[in-house]
Copies of this chain bind each other. A is one copy, B any other.
Amino acid sequence: MPTIETVFSPALIQHHALENRSVVIIDVLRATSSICYALFEGARSLMPVSTPEDCLRYRTLGCLCAAERNGLKLDGFDMGNSPLEFSRDLVQGRDIAITTTNGTYALLESRSANRIFIGSFLNLDLLAHYLMMENQDITLVCAGWKNKVNLEDSLFAGALASKLNDFEIRCDSTLMAIELWENSKDRLYEVVDRSSHARRFKRLGVDDLPVCLDLNRCPVVPEYLGDRIVAV
């Protein structure tokens, strides 16, 4: 029986062996939601990069460039990190270089894994279905906020884990995440609205909770292959 583990912060990745496992990167607010949205809207690929400077270099290759730091789009980029910015008329058929505060960091820290998928509430059911078909050991990696644990990524880990029947749960983080999800799923918006990230959004005037909590709006299975994320 394959196993499932959960890592609540990128700072804990080093204490979990990822070799020979499939990893799901989770950054609900908002990198992995934006990636799912962009691929569903027809983007060809997304390239996660570490810094805004690296990101802009891809413009010469014809890429769109997306950059967010501390919740805000950076000047001079085509988009920031709000899913709704990745609209079909803008992204269809395009490659997009992207750098964000937490999501791309978690992704780049997980490269020792066998396969890397992208999870968000937007692709929950299809991703769960795909992972059950694959039947490999899975580690759910929450991007958190600057290495701190956050609520919305932990909740999504619980949502996904609760759907993965016939996986053995050997770690307490997964138990905790499932418990949180089961007790929150009927009032998801209300629970996430109390999170530190939702409060940060309010300060910044960002209103992305509704789209990021819109379950199964974008049924895609994004995988990180080579240097880019594509829909498999």
Give 9 A-B contacts (CB < 8 Å), ordered by A residue.
A8-B149, A148-B173, A149-B171, A149-B173, A171-B196, A172-B197, A175-B194, A175-B195, A179-B183
Chain B residues with Cβ below 8 Å from A191 are 179
Contact of A176 among B16, B151, B170 (CB under 8 A): B151
Contacts of A154 in B (CB 8 A): 172, 176
Asked if A50 lies at the interface with its beta carbon under 8 angstroms from chain B, I say no
Question: In whole angstroms, what is the CA distance A16 to B175 when docked?
Answer: 24
Chain A interface, number of residues (Cβ within 8 angstroms): 30
A12 at the interface (CB under 8 A from B): yes
The reply to whether the CB of A9 lies closer than 8 angstroms to some CB of chain B is yes
A104 cross-chain contacts in B, Cβ below 8 A: none
**Smallest CB separation, A209 vs chain B (Å):** 15
Q: Give, as a whole number of angstroms, the nearest-CB distance from A15 to chain B.
A: 4
Q: Does residue A147 face the partner (Cβ distance < 8 Å to B)?
A: yes
What residues of chain A have their CB less than 8 Å away from a CB belonging to chain B?
8-9, 11-12, 14-16, 145-151, 154, 170-173, 175-176, 179-180, 183-184, 191, 194-197
3 pairs of A and B residues whose beta carbons are closest in the complex: A151-B172, A15-B147, A150-B172
Q: How far is the CB of A221 from chain B (nearest CB, A)?
A: 27
Q: What CA separation (Å) do A149 and B15 show in the bound complex?
A: 10
Give complex CA distance A184, B182 in Å. Answer: 12
How far in angstroms is the closest Cβ of chain B from A143? 13
Minimum CB–CB distance from A10 to chain B (whole Å) comes to 10
